[in-house]
Amino acid sequence: MRLFHNPSFRKFFFYWLPVLLYCLFIFIQSSLPASEHMPDFDFSDKLLHVGAYAVFGLLLYRAFNTMDKRTSTVRLVIMSILLTALYGASDEIHQYFVPSRSAEFLDFAADAIGGILGAMLAVVIFKNRPSL
């Protein structure tokens, strides 16, 4: 258990591992056939994209917040949004090659909007919390 006393390992385990596991979760979900049990209203899938990528944006901000203390909140938000949007774009490209899936610009837009909302929510949640 001495490993947990290493600050670098603790930072990775508590802040970056959740980001990586969430990326894996999104990738696996995108690799599966599209669900036939979606809520039955217009743009319901877009709301799911916004929600999923809001969580991702929040996790990224939380992890980036452990970096250099001099990094501004604005920079942390921008990095979180950009990485969320890039991952959303790569996910749409990935889905293009998955049978029964498709790549849609509106899904990418919903992913980016989710990243924005998640990063902004993270600013509020982690505003007064010291990072590791």
Q: Do the beta carbons of residue 35 and residue 100 sit within 8 Å?
A: no
Closest to 30 (Cα-Cα) out of 75, 83, 88, 79:
88
- Distance between CA 64 and CA 83 in Å, rounded? 11
Amino acid letter, residue 47: L
Q: Where are the domains of the chain?
A: 2-32+43-125
pLDDT tens digits along 83-101: 999 999 999 999 999 988 8
- Specify the range with the lowest mean pLDDT, choosing from 7-11, 17-21, 81-85: 7-11
pLDDT higher than threshold 90 for residue 62: yes
| pLDDT number for residue 23 | 97
- Residues of the chain with pLDDT > 70, as a percent, come to 87
| pLDDT number for residue 1 | 58
pTM exceeds 0.85: yes
